[in-house]
Amino acid sequence: MKITAIKPYVMWGETSRPAKASAAPGGRNWMFVKVETDAGIYGWGEGSLVNEEPTIAQCVEQLAPQIMGDDAHNIERIWQKLWLHNRYRGGVIIMSAISAIDQALWDIKGKALGVPVYQLLGGAVRDRIRVYSHASSPEEAKKRVQEGFNAIKAGTWHKDMDRGIVESVLPGWLADHVTGLREAVGPDVDIMLDNHGRSRPALAIKQVRAIDHLNVLFFEEPTPPENQDALKLIRQAGLQTEIATGERLLTRWGYREVIEQQLVDIVQPDICHCGGISEMRRIAAMAEVYHINMAFHNPKGPVATAASIHISAAIPNFLILEHSKPNSVFEELQVAPIKMEGGYYGLPTAPGLGVDLREDVIASRPYQYRHVIYSYMADGTPAQP
């Protein structure tokens, strides 16, 4: 079964147009890859990355000749070719392209053998897959619960701080913020916090201490990803809240230090960037050795969500899966939409990833640049958004 075509598709994944530069950022594009074979079987993959989707699509076209005509069944051989035959390997653009192609190949293999992908990974170790979505306020948190989620994640920096960050007010504000979220959703809904890697270690420790008594499931990306040694300082602070990181780390080599030194309790690879299903399974196995859980990063489209569901079903150290906010385009794009009920996805039953996309919907929603609000300290120094 030979590969005959590798086609990237980029689309705007929202019902509304992107916000203006002066407004809060919002909305996402999606980048999908369709791999076709001479057996008439095709597969879908996803490599969406904020505002970089056209660049990744171009990278897919650059990589395609390396594997055109290869046997689509040989997923690992193809992965190794795409990894090793590019001298300057790694980096989020190339890895996102590889990740999308890898997902599509697993989709093809499952379809060819007539089984869901998770069966090819050793079968299910759980009966359902727990997911969470996002909320920035108590009102939005209530809405997520009404939509069926039993876990939500919020940011740790108030949006009004982006143009004049004063670090001293952050810990107190965060404690009040989490208290308000808890009052809104009650005791049975899990709350997670995402710091987006914005803090120095000393500030991150103050932030976590401010909410350490509020039963937060995990505190994500306390410090920037460029220096993993900073996480050692967080570890040494004696905090009880579990620490997570990893959405911006790529491949098992990128995770090695964090996992081997047990710098966090939870790692968060993204199936669109870390190397696809093939590499995510290896990262999960590495983390399992050190009793580290997996909470996959996934504010993405339906293909990445489906692929993440399959691997979540098959690994023993899965905790919870991120999910984008409910969006009508997410369902409209799919031929037969996957369904979340009561905060969980059931085990997929269709062969492959179980997701097929409507190309007419993709064509009707061309790429739109997503404006980003840039952050600054109170004195005008640029800060990480």
Q: What is the CATH number of the domain that holds 99?
A: 3.30.390.10
The reply to whether 76 and 124 lie within a common domain is: no
The predicted pLDDT at position 180 comes to 97
Quick one: tokens of 300?
Answer: 């993405």
Q: Determine whether 273 is an active site residue.
A: no
What secondary structure, in 3-state letters, does 299-331 show?
CCCHHHHHHHHHHHHHCCCECCEECCCCCHHHH
Domain for residue 275, yes or no?
Answer: yes
The predicted pLDDT at position 384 comes to 76
The reply to whether 112 and 122 lie within a common domain is: no
Residues of the chain with pLDDT under 70: 18-26, 159-164
Domain for residue 357, yes or no?
Answer: no
**What pLDDT, in 10s, does the model give residues 54-80?**
999 999 999 999 999 999 999 999 999
Domain for residue 360, yes or no?
Answer: no
The predicted pLDDT at position 342 comes to 92
**Which of the residues 134, 273, 297, 310 is marked catalytic?**
297
Domain for residue 368, yes or no?
Answer: no
Q: What is the CATH number of the domain that holds 124?
A: 3.20.20.120
The predicted pLDDT at position 222 comes to 98
Q: Among 117, 4, 194, 103, which Cα is nearest to 354's? A: 117
Domain span at residue 212 reads 118-352
Cβ atoms of 14 and 38 within 8 Å: the answer is: no
The reply to whether 125 and 54 lie within a common domain is: no
**Which of the residues 73, 158, 196, 371 is marked catalytic?**
196
Q: Among 87, 105, 104, which Cα is nearest to 46's? A: 104
Domain for residue 359, yes or no?
Answer: no
Domain for residue 303, yes or no?
Answer: yes
Cβ atoms of 307 and 348 within 8 Å: the answer is: no
The predicted pLDDT at position 372 comes to 76
Q: Determine whether 213 is an active site residue.
A: no
The predicted pLDDT at position 22 comes to 47
* Domain total in the chain: 2
Percentages (nearest 5) of helix, strand, coil residues in the chain: 40, 20, 45
Quick one: tokens of 278?
Answer: 């093939």
**C-alpha distance from residue 59 to each of 98, 275, 280 (Å):** 9, 14, 21
The reply to whether 90 and 137 lie within a common domain is: no
The reply to whether 245 and 199 lie within a common domain is: yes
The reply to whether 169 and 307 lie within a common domain is: yes
The reply to whether 101 and 130 lie within a common domain is: no
Cβ atoms of 9 and 32 within 8 Å: the answer is: yes
